[in-house]
Structures are given as structure tokens and as C-alpha cells.
Structure 1
Amino acid sequence: MISTWIVIAMVVAFVNVARNEADMQPCATVQTSSSVVLMGSPVTAICVVREDCPLVNGQAVRIEWRLNNRFIPSSSAANESARVSEAVISSFNHTRASLTCCIQSSPTQVVAGVEIRAGYPPEAPRNLSCQTNLTTSNTLTCSWDSGQQETHLPTKYTLHTEIWDTHQNQTYKLPPGVQHYTIPRSGFVLFSEMKIYVKAENDLGEATSASIILEPISAAKFDPPKILKVQVVPKRYGCLRLSWSLSQHQSWMRDYRLNLEVRFRTTDSSQWREPTVFVSRIRPSRHVDKCHLLHGTQYFVQIRVRYQQSPWSEWSSSESGVTLESAPTGRLDSWMKVSEDHMPKQLNIHLFWKPSKQFRANGQNVSYIVSVQKVPGEKGKLCSTRENYCTFQLPGRIKKVYLSAVNAAGKSSPTEVRIYQPTARAAILNITAIPQDERSLLVQWRSKVISNLVGYVVEWKPLLKPELSHIQYEIADKNQSGLVITGSFEPYKPYGISVYPRFKDGIGLPQTVNAYLRQKAPSMVPKIQIKKTWKSHIELTWDEIPLDQRNGIIQNYKIFYWDEKGPINIVHADPKERKVILKHLSTMSLYEAFMMVSTAGGSLNGSTIHFEVEPFDAVAGVMIVIATGVGLSLLIIFTVLTCFSKHKRLKGHFWPVVPDPANSSIKRWTSESTQVCCEDQNESNRRDPIYLSHLSFLDLPVKLSKEEDDLWLNSAEDTSDLGESICGSPFIPGYSGSHSDSVPYATVIFSSPCNSPPPKEPHIYLRSESTQPLLETEESFSPKCYQNMGSDEMPREQCFFGPCHDCVPNVGADPGIVWDDFPFLRALAMNDAQND
């Protein structure tokens, strides 16, 4: 009974499980040709809906297709139930996409689907290479390239090895994406050849690389070898001998033949010599000799090794050696600058030199001798130095000196250097220098066409290092107009570059330019100073920037200034003048200003200053007027004092001497006025002096007394002619004619003063041109002679003019003078007669 119930329960349970499994089955299935396809290939899929699908419930079925979230066209299969649908994708271009089958209902239900992946088959691995490591644990590492095209599919790589001697094959699987593998020491034999290749595989196919066959030892990269010693080869000039060995980890290969490569460079060069020296199949226990090197030169040496065609090891550390010395050979290139000394017939000479391409020092400690003799000796030696220049003085008659190089092994043949007198000729028109690269400058110039021009000298030096040892130069041909100069140029430092023309008979005047390899903004900005302020203008000045802080060529100065109300104004200043005038400023306004200094590499702003323009001060104006008045007063006083001190000369210059008939004296006129007038003439315009004698007779109301008469007579008693008599006459006031109030006068011209010796030529008598009438006398009264009367003696007659019949002629009288031409003398005679 119990067993029956158990059987019934098991049947019921089985039926329920079958029912649940039927309910869990999908309503449809999707079938495709492949879930992984080639990129761009067509894809076909079929969807079949079950008859007992609960979503249908005996109704008509409408099936749709979706690729990811996009609907794609479909077609019904050829059957009556319409529960089968087919979708065709002509070109599948997705690397991964979901293709689903849906039943249209409310809402649309997805009943089945499949994931499709697309990609490419793998390319054959390329550039397979292997390298053996002999340093620590011996290994063989191989690497390769997977190809340029991405497969978009998971790709597996495997490394395969076949050892020919032992027929041992190994396959090494690699993790995804790894393109190298290190084979352990158990997987290879150092001196046995083996075949190695790589295989790539994915769902669309597989590819195998080209195989390589190698001996692991020939793929080993050795450690850098070690140079044990570098020494000279006995009695062989220009040869060095190297002793070397392998590293400690590879010393076990000292009996194997290796390939060796050696390279050299001199101590003064940064470049290794090409080509290198190759030595094949040499054991580490053997030394290497290298010849054809420079004599007496120190070299740095490096070596590297490999086994057959294995990779080269890294270069060893450098070791140095010196070849045997010999006497210097070749000539020296020289450059001489000559200037005249303050001593007569002496020349100051700066001589520079450097090795030519043919020169060989052939020694370590090389010195140079400059001598006036071709064979250097103590007698004609001018200087001996290890530098590349020498300064000395020579007489101008010496036309050449000799330059020799000396080392411990001997002396070189002397290089003749001619001495040319400095010349003032110029041939260079202009010069420019621009950076060429990080180590050189391009110098270009233009020159005149001159027949005896033979070349140029390009000289350069750091301006912050004035020592002669820093001067460098190059010789250029006369057909050149540019040169690239290379040296240890420092950025932001100034260099002076000069181009000298070389003539057949001397060196001409140079053209010079300053240059920078690189420029940047100046390190400082000079402080602005207010020099002068007037009205609405102000003048600003500043000092020059020190040369070591310019960092380039100063292109311009800019002054920015503004007040609290106005806009910012900019004024450009001339870099050479270093001053600027700000115009049209407002008074009583506070201004601010700063300077910007610029080079080709940048600009820098200075500190801000404040200033204002004061209005015109009335007190200052008054002080200016007072100062001006005081100055004019002092000028007038000085002028007046000058006039008083020079009144006679000024009077004679501006007011010519005119005799006053009413107030004249023969003696005073002659001795003072006339002579002064004549003496005041300029020395350059002075001619023979003219002496004038004037006679004035005023009214004489009474007869002269005996004493007065004696005064006249005494003053004239030692005269010999009228000129002398007139010069000695006193002033007699109150004399006038008896018949008229007019004042008669006349002028007698004679050629010498009163106290001079008698003249050799006769006097000239000039008749008065005065319009005033002479003394009115009777025609019959015409005395012929003038009598000088003594007090106690008989009257003496003295003839002054013309012939005299009644008296003894005076010695020296001119017989050609007519008495009637001098009516005033007749009046004089009449006066004398009346006095008697």
C-alpha cells in the first residue's frame, strides 16, 4: 500500500518537472551561419517561433529584427505558419553587435537573439630577434612585432624553438597582448644552433613568422670591456699600444676570438675620430697597436667587443696615452695689429697666431718664440710664451719678424711675418652679424672695389673679457663677403666683431659691430631723473645701462606717463641720447611715469616715479626782473667807465677835431689837439702825420705892454720859420682887427712836430676856405717881412714866406711862395707895425 502511494507521488512530481521545463524554454530560436565573421562580410540569420509560445496564444505572429537598437528589414520564410523569419545583413561592419528577434505586441517582446563579432585574421609576426644575456643568469630573450593591422579579436601568440643537435622542441604560450618572451637557460644551448619562430592565432585564422636560425652565443651582447693600459710603442712615432680584457662575468671567454673596435680623440677635441679601428678575431689576452697618430699628442681611447655578428657591447670607459714627441712641423697662421708709439720711429705690435691645417705641434708642452732673426736666438728674441699672442715694440725700420714653435724634441721651421705700417685707408662699407645656430654667428660685409685688396681679417672678442688671450680671428679671401665664425659663444653676452681689409702694403681701417648669440630682456632699468622743468614741459634723463646687464642690443626706450584724469601717453626716446622732453603738461597735476627698455629678446619695465609741474611763481619773476636790471646797470656803468678812460680816442673817432676861432691857441692846438688827433689813428690805418698850426687874432682894444710884448717875443725868438714860431706862440686873448669884428684865422700845414728837426721838404701852406672876412686893411699895407724885436737889440727881420728884398733871407725858406697868397700874414705884419 505504502509503495503504491510512493509510485503515484513520483509520477506526479515527474509530470510537474516536465511542465516547468516546458514553461522555461524560449519562445523562439535564432540561427546564424557564424557568430564570428570577417569584417564587412554578409550575415544571414533565421528566427523560429515555437507553436506553444505563450506570447502567441494561437494568434497570428509578426516578427521584427533588431541589430543593437536599430530595426533591420526582414522577410518571412516559405511556410504557412508565418512563425519563421529571415534577416540578411549585406555588410557587417561592427566589431561586436547583438542581433535579436522580436514579436510585435504591446509592448514588443524580444524572444531570441545572438551576439555576432567581426574582425580580421592575424598577420604574420615580423622583426623577430633574439638576444642572449651573459651578465648574470644566462637567458635568451626574443621579441617581435604583431603587425600594423588590428584584428579586433582575441589573438594568441606562441613561441616555438627547435634545437637541431638535441632535436628538442619547445612551445611557449604567451599572455594576450605580450610580444616578447624570455627563454630560460634550460631551453637553449650556447654553442648549438636552433630554429625560432612565432605563431599568431584567432577565430578567423592563424599566421607564422619567418623563422630565424642562430647560435645563442652569437646573439650575446657582452658587457663593456676594460682597457688595462695605454702606452707608447718603443721607437715608433705616432703609435699607441692597448692592453684590454673582458668583464668579470665574461672572463671565461678569454680564449675565444672576438671582434674589437677602437676609437680615439685628442684632449682638445670633443669629437671622436672617424673612422674607428676594427680588429677582427682577437683574443682578450692579446694587445692592440694603433699607429698613424699625431706625434707627442695625448689621446683618449675607448673600445667595444662582440662575438661574430652579435650586437656590439657598450663602449668602455676612457683611458689616455701620449705618443712619442718630435719637433713641430708646418706653419702658423698669424694676424698682426700695428700702431705707432708715442716715441718717434717706434711701433707697438700685437701679434696673434694659431695652428694652420698643416701644423703639427708633435708635443705636449709647446711654446712659441718671436724673433727678429730667422734662426731663433737670445740676441734677437722679442718674446717667448705659451700663449697664442705676444706684444712688443720695434723700430719702424724693421720689416719682418719670425715665429717658431718649440717643444722638448726641437723647433719648427720659422714662419715669416711681415710688418706693415698702419694705413688710414678704408674699404669696408658696413658689417652685420646674426646668429647661425647655437654655436656660431654669420658675419657679412660689403666693401669697395680696390685693386690692391688681397683679403680680409675677421676678428672677434668677448666685450666683457678685454684680455688679449680671448681674441680670435679668421682669414678670409678677397672674393668672400661673409663668414661663419664658430666658438664658445655664450648667450646674452656681447661680442665685438671687426672686419679689417688687407692690402698689399698694410692693414686698413676696420668696421666693427656688436653681436649676441641670443638676447633676452635687460636685467635692469635705469632710474629716471628730472633734469629741468619749465612752464608745461619737463626734461627726463637717465644713465646708460651697464654692458653686462643689457643682455642684448638696446632697441628703444619708452616712457609711459599719465595723470589721474588723462589717458596713458607714450614717448619714444633715442637710445643714444638717453633723454626725453614731455610737453603740454597740466600744471598742478600729479603725474606718474615709468620706463620700458627693450631688446630683440624682450622688454623690462622700471619703477614708477611721481612728479608735477609747478605754475609760474610771481616772486621768481620779480627776482628774475631784479637780476636782469642789476645786470643791465652793471653793463651801463662799465660802458661809461670805459668811455671816460678812453674819452680822447672816442672823441677823436666820433667827433673830429674842428678848431674854434673864438677860443684857440696856436701852441695848445698844435701841441695837444693836432698831435692827439693824429696819434689816435689806428696803427693799421696810420699814414704820415699832418701837423696843423692855427693863428687866431681876437680884438686887442689896448696896446700890449712891454712885458706882454716880451712874452710873445721871448717865446718866438729861437724859431727859424713860421711853423716853429707858431708852435711856440702863447695864447693871446682879446685880439681883433681894427676895422672889423670878424675873427681872421688860417691854417699852416707842416710835416713834423715843433720839437722835430727841420724838414727836408718845404712846408705846405693851405689857404683858409673860411667864409669869414680877413682883417680889413688897406691895399697899400702889405708888409713883406715879419720883424722879431729884441728888447735891447736892433730889430731883426726874418723872412718866413717867399722872397724878401728888405731882409736877409732865412735859411731854408722856399723862394717859390708868393706873399700875396697869405693875406693874414700881411695883417700880422701890420699888427707888428702898429705895436711899434
Structure 2
Amino acid sequence: EEKTLPGSNSSKGREILPQNQVFAVGSVATFCCVVPDGERLSEMYVDFAVSSMNVSQISRQRYVLKVHLEPNWENCVDVRCITNGTKGKYGACAYVGYPPDDRDLRCETRDLESVQCSWEKGRDTNLALKSPTVYRLNGRTCDHEGTCSHETEPGEKTWTLTAQNQLGKVELHDTADLLERVHMYAPEEVTVSHVNSRNVSLQWSWKVERYGNLSLTCEVSVRDGERIAESTHFGLGLNSAVVVNLIPNWEYHVKVRCGAASHFWKWSDWSVMKPFRTAGDVPDALNIWMQRRRNRTVILWKEPLANQSHGDVTEYVVSWSRTSERSQQKQTRVPLSHQNHTLILDRREQHVVMVTAKNQNGSSPPSTIITCSISTCPDETSVKTSWIEGSSRSFSLSWPDSPAASCGYVVDWCPVAQDAPLDWLKLPPNQTSALLTSENFRDGLRYSLSIYACTEAAPVLLEKREGYVRETRIEGQLFKPLTLKQRDMDVEISWDRIPLREQTASIRGYRLYYWENLNQIFNVSTDDPEATSLTARHLRGALYTFTVTAQTAVGECGDTSITSTLGSSGDDLIQSVLISLGAVFGLLFIVTFLCFRHWTCIKRKVYPPIPKPVVTDQWFSSPVKSSRPYLPPDQSLHGEGVVEVPQLLYEHGAPVISHTKPEEETPDDKPVKSRGRPARTFPNPPYKLMLKDHPSSMTEPDIQNQTHTMTTAQYKPQSHMKGVVPSQNQVDSGGFISCHPGYILVPEPS
């Protein structure tokens, strides 16, 4: 838009026209600079302009500048003229902005007595200093931008809002019944009363008394840490509510907001947050499971969380009995530091086990599990184990639906080779898949996973899986000890079975590398993960290096090497012969040494000595001299070539009568002095004293004759002698014991 502005004809004037004019963004404005007489225009420009500007002279003292007004300029734009005079710099301010752009008028009531209208403000006009927007509601000026209110009568009304500045004007309209546009104030003075373990009562008041006549709906928000639970309540003039399903012994924060129920317009603001804590209660039922370890059953339970214990848990109680004798329960108390208990149960019968937790408020409801018997549970070893691969430190598994799972499924897992605690997850019957995540999962650790069907009786094992959440490379020197055995020109490399705790990745086979020099490397492999040896064949006598590696999903790893110089097959034969000869000679030496050490004992066992009794003439001296017819136990005969004489025996029960008077002592009674080793007597079981029947009046010559007869006959071994059974008559009336001539040799008189 262009228009002509009045100018000045004074040659002494100095000014820029127009002064303090308001322009719309995007318009083209022409500014005129009037130069006084005697001065000359040097420059005319606009501040913040980016591009150069063309100035044209329309008369001797007047110059004009056309400017396109940009939207991003400041509210007041300076236009300047510079002349060669002493006061050669002067200018004018131009205001650039927008007309009003407000929209969306909405009117409502908060107190049921006045109307309050609000609208959405448009873009900034940039004219707040020179031409601010003026708002009027139904002709009444509004005090605040964005909202306007004044008293009104109930019923349907139409409200008109006008917004105007120097660049334009806009009108907004809204028609409504204020009873359908009730925007309530927030509830005040919220209080919590009747605080129980699982519910509380709330009360509040209203700022406007007329709210008591409205049908209201109120929303109660209960915050539990990061969780928020909301409940809705209805009523005429509602000012109270009961909050249920709370956690005992738990900290909460509650707030309330309300709105008209019949013609809901919008919620009120939230009330001030009110904190409270519920009363304590008995703990929730424990999450229990069991694990079989040979003949033992381990009952496990998870430590109740803070929102499950409802107080400080003091102890656990484990009770068990046979399913057929539930009234005869056994019970034990488990300290707070333990979350398991081991039972030794009779596997021939089912048992029911119950676990409860205690706090200051009482015992939790019992958690029950039934153990299986040998007859009711299948052998778990009959369930095949399949492989599972983890990803992102988790296991994703699924299984077919089981009709036996009346109460759901249980998935448990634990490391295969470590004595780590078992963990488990219980699922509803309609869920046959699970994503197992745990902060205890470790890379390079093999896990065993089992899927059970939860039944009304004992759990039933459905599937078993094994795998890693992530396999890692096995460190070197895995195969220790690595042993080498040469057979002809073949070499067998063997190792011990690799424990699972050292398998940070699943071993799928083994490979043996061997070489004489690095230019030619040979290998042999097996796909059997249970193998413990590999054989390199057709080698030659040289220095070889053997390296065994494990084949896994992350590559070959666990390298272990051994170096050995191989001998030829002829050398092996010679070595075997020498070893055999050495073993034979060693055995002979040991036998010879033992025989030498124990020769006396061996000789006595193999060739026992045969005693040859010898008696002297005094044995058969006259009875007048009262010589004893037997050898005393403490005396023995000594002489040249005399051997030990065995003890003479007589028949049991026969009396031995001595004819020596007690008061007399003959020279024969004196002990004989020993010339050599001391005399000793010993039993000689093969011999028996043989008694000969002869008259008691036998004279000495008769005895000598008999003795002579025995002397002429040579001594015969015991084995050729015939035993003579003595009779009672063999003892004469005088009590003398007669010796059989075949037993005792009487030396011939010299």
C-alpha cells in the first residue's frame, strides 16, 4: 500500500518521513530523507538490512529509499540518513508486525455464577510497544490476555470476543449452556482416615458450595514409587472415597480430581498430594519349588520382596507328611538367612510339603508342593536333552501344549557344572513360551533348563534343554595332561575328559595337528565330543610337535602342544627286550634276597630236624640208688655229640612213683652242670612214651640184655615205628616206668 505523506518545504529542516509508522510484515515501505540547504546526502540505509539498497533523488533536497520489510526484523527498525554537515546523522523508527491471529474461543463456568472464556493466542504481533492487541468480550474489555470472565445468568448464551491492533481485527464466537461447561476447582483439605492394611478412607471439601448439588465423578490416583493406580468414584456432591487393593505396610501418595458426571466437560486440577502408610499384615504366600538331588529333595523358596513380606519376616516353617497321612506332619524351623531346606524322603511314597513365612503379624498362607514317588514319576533320565542357543544374555524357548498342565508350567534353570542356586519361573496354563532373563546369567557358562507341567499332584518333567547365553573362546592349555604313546610308527595323543566347568563353549569335536617342520602341517580330527584320543599314523623317526584343539561354535581354541622325538620300530623292539630282561633279573634278585634272609625259617619248614634221644648209664642204675626213671624238666644230658632230648611222655593218669626217700639226697639228685647251651625241654607230639610189660622183679642184667639187643639194632625213624598202646599193667607194682627199647638208645659201655 502506498500513500503520500505531507512533507516540509523548509530548506533548514532535517528529517526522515514517515516517523514511528507501523507496517505489516512483508510490505514495501518508502522512506524520504529531507536534506537541509547547503548539505549533501552521503548515505541512506536501514539497520539490520542484509542486502544493499538503492537510493533515488526526487528533488534537490529530497531522497527516497524503498524497503521490503522482513518478518525477522526487530520491532522498531531504524532508517538513517547521513550528510556532510556537522550534525549529519539522523533517522526515523518503523514498527513491523502482524495483525491479531487468535482463535478457538471456549467459555465455561467454575463457580456456576460467572463465565470464564479462554482462547488460543496466535502468533506474536511484535507490536506490544506501539500497537498492543485489545480484547473485548461482548463489548467488555478483558483484563488478561488469553482469558476473560464476568458474571452471567444460567442458560444458553453466545459470547463474542474481538481482538484488534493497528494492523487488523479478528472476532471469535462461542455458544453454550454453562451447566454443561462446568470446570470444577480442585478438591481441598484431603485427609486420610481409617488406615488398614489393604484399604484406606479419603475425605475432602469443596471451595464452591453449589458443587454439593451436582452429580460428580472423582478420580483417585495412588502412587507407589514409580507405579500409579487410579480408581474412579461417583456420587452426588461426592466428597469421600475408599481406596482398596493396597499393599500392607507400604508407603503411598494420593491425590484427587473431580468433574461433573451428567455433562462431563473436563477434570478439575489435582488436589495437593497426601502421603500415608498402610498397616502391616501377614506375609503373602511364598513362591516355592523343589529340586531332586539323588536321594534328597531340596525345597526352595524365593525371599519375599518388601511388598510381599508386609513387615519384617522372622523365620520360615517347613512341614511335610505322606500324602496318605497328612495328619501326621513333621515340622522344622528355618532361619531367615536360608531360602531352602533339604529333606530325605521315602521315594516309595508321595509327600506333601508346605512352607510358610512368619512376621510380627502372623504366618503366611501355606505354599504347597507334592513330591513324586518312584511309581508315579517317570525316570528323568529318559527325557532327552536338546540344545538351545541364547541371545542377548537371555534364553527364548517354547514348547507344545500339555494337557497335564492343569495349573500352568514351571521353567527352572541352573549352571550345569557349578553348585549355584536354582532359579525358576511360573507361567499360566495358556502360556507355552517364555523369554528367560536374569542378572545372574554369565557368558561362557553352560546352563541346564527344564520345563515342568504343574499338576494337582507332583510336577511332571516335559523337556530338558542345555545351552549358553553366549559362548566364549576357551583359553589355551585346555588338554592337560596331554600324553603320547607310540605304536610302531603311529602316535596316539590322549587327554583326560574335559570338565564342563572348563568348557566356555560347546565342544563339537577335536583336531590334532602334527608337523616335523612348519612347511608341512598335517591334521586328523573327530566329530565325537566325548573322544579322548587321536592318532597320527605313518610317521618317521624325527622330532615332531603335536597340538590338540577343540572345535567350537566360536572356532578352534584351547590349544595344547607336546613335542617328542620318535624312534624307529627296530629301536622299539630292542627297548622292549631290554625292559623284559631287566624285569626278569630284577625279580630273580628279589627272590634270591628274600630266600637268603629267611633261609633258616625256610629250612625248618621244608626239612624239619628229627631229634635222636640219647640217655646215659645212670638212667638204668639200681633202684637201691633211687635213680629216677625219667628226665626232670629242668635237667638235660650233656656230652660230646649230645643232642637235645625231647621230653619223655607217659600215659595220662599213670602215677609216677619215686623211690627216693625225702630225707635222703643221693649224688644222682644233684643237678648236672651245663657244658654248652642251657638245657630245654619241648613237646614232641609224634612220639609217645611206650611202656613195656615186664615183671617188677626184673634185674639189672635183664635190662641190660634188652638194651644190648636194641643197641645192636640201628635206630629207626619215627615213621617206621609201631605204636604200643600202654595198659594199666605196664606200670609195675613198684611204680617204675619201663622204657621201650625201640625209643631210647642206651650207649654201649666203653
TM-score class, shorter: 0.3 to 0.5
- Which protein has greater RCO, CA pairs closer than 8 Å, 6+ apart? 2
